[in-house]
Amino acid sequence: MDETTLTMTFSWGDLERQLFRLADGPAQKEMIPYLVSGIRKQRPFLTHELLLQEILSVAACMADSRFPPPADSASHVTATSPVSESSP
């Protein structure tokens, strides 16, 4: 089978539901809508392979029980916190 013949179609909602199923705890589940939104915004700029890499990276983090940040780290980052200029 030629690797270019395999195509998959799924919705962003499908992806979000599957990530919720993978999520190991409430901290990961809380992040999912924001992570999927970020991937959606990047989509026009990503090749199919890079999109797959982003999805797999998020999925791996959701399934990793060691991934959630420490409880006190939430007080250091908010949705409106500016990104530092030194960030890539």
73-82 confidence digits (pLDDT tens): 554 444 443 3
Residue 26 has pLDDT above 80, yes or no: yes
Burial 7-41 (b: 16+ CB within 10 A, else e): eeeeeeeebeeebeebbeeeebbebbeebbeebee
84 assigned to some structural domain: no
* Percent with pLDDT over 70 in the chain: 69
Instruction: Report yes or no on 85 lying in a domain.
Output: no
Domain, as residue range, for 57: 11-64
Q: Is residue 24 part of a domain?
A: yes
